[in-house]
Amino acid sequence: MSTGVRRRMGVEERRQQLIGVALDLFSRRSPDEVSIDEIATAAGISRPLVYHYFPGKLSLYEAALQRAAEDLASRFDEPHEGPLGARLLRVMRRYFDFVDDHGPGFSALMRGGPAVPADGVGSREHASATNALIDSVRQAAYDRILSHLGVAEASARLELVVRSWISLAESTALLWLDGRRVPRAELETQLVHDFAALAAVSAAYDPDTAALLRTMMRDEPADGPFAELAGRLVSLAS
């Protein structure tokens, strides 16, 4: 403000600011290591005022997690246009952007255990709230993929391919975060190839997946990621 007097925030605005500040801190270091004092300092308010908006670190962590989950799910938005391989590659880039931005917090969360303040009470409720949130993001990814594939009802085998690939994307991102020894762009392409490869393996057992794979491949340009993989596999097999 031009007067130099700090503008007073409304309750909801202050809550949102605190969530943003906390998410930033929880992302950059393991959430266990972030204190309420630090959050207060970063937000430019007193510790008691933080407690006025959030009863404790746990509730602030859960609110930050909720915002991160919405952010991540929004990165799965992708127009239903153009070849599937290129669509998936764009989503993978945004996924790794997210992972890159939230590294330590993402690792702590996905590696399980009470990612934050056990504090004695509430750790069980916290764990199940956290798991429910992670599951909701996985489910959003799953629904989005099926919709891009044009599949309304997946066979058990196709469901397994898609869900297990989602977990492969998670573990690949987690392994990448541990040392970042492989360029992330390579892993983004690799995960697109992995999807096609896992589908190709499953297609042997499942006519639905085989039909889907043929459709996917048919629409791919000769220089797209799926075609590139197919060429490579042929040369490996020969």
The binding site for a second copy (CB under 8 A) comprises 111-114, 118, 120-121, 123-124, 127-128, 130-131, 156-157, 159-160, 163-164, 167-168, 170-172, 175-176, 179, 181-182, 186-187, 190, 193-194, 197-198, 200-205, 210, 213-214, 217, 229-234, 236-238
Min dist. Cβ of residue 98 to a second copy (A): 18
Distance CA 216, CA 212 (A): 6
Distance CA 171, CA 178 (A): 11
Min dist. Cβ of residue 156 to a second copy (A): 4
Q: 63, 197, 66: which is closest to 137 by C-alpha?
A: 66
4: left (phi over 0), alpha (psi -120 to 50) or beta: left
Query: Environment class of residue 190 by beta-carbon count within 10 Å: exposed (0-12), middle (13-18) or buried (19+)?
Result: middle
| Smaller CB separation from a second copy, 152 or 204 | 204
Q: 80, 84, 81: which is closest to 214 by C-alpha?
A: 84
| Smaller CB separation from a second copy, 49 or 201 | 201
Q: 106, 130, 73, 72: which is closest to 178 by C-alpha?
A: 106
| Smaller CB separation from a second copy, 20 or 122 | 122
Min dist. Cβ of residue 198 to a second copy (A): 6
| Smaller CB separation from a second copy, 49 or 211 | 211
| Smaller CB separation from a second copy, 20 or 56 | 56
Min dist. Cβ of residue 21 to a second copy (A): 25
**Displacement of CA 81 from its chain's centroid (Å):** 22
| Smaller CB separation from a second copy, 74 or 164 | 164
Min dist. Cβ of residue 85 to a second copy (A): 13
What is the helix (H) or strand (E) element at residue 189, kind and residue range?
helix 184-203
Min dist. Cβ of residue 142 to a second copy (A): 11
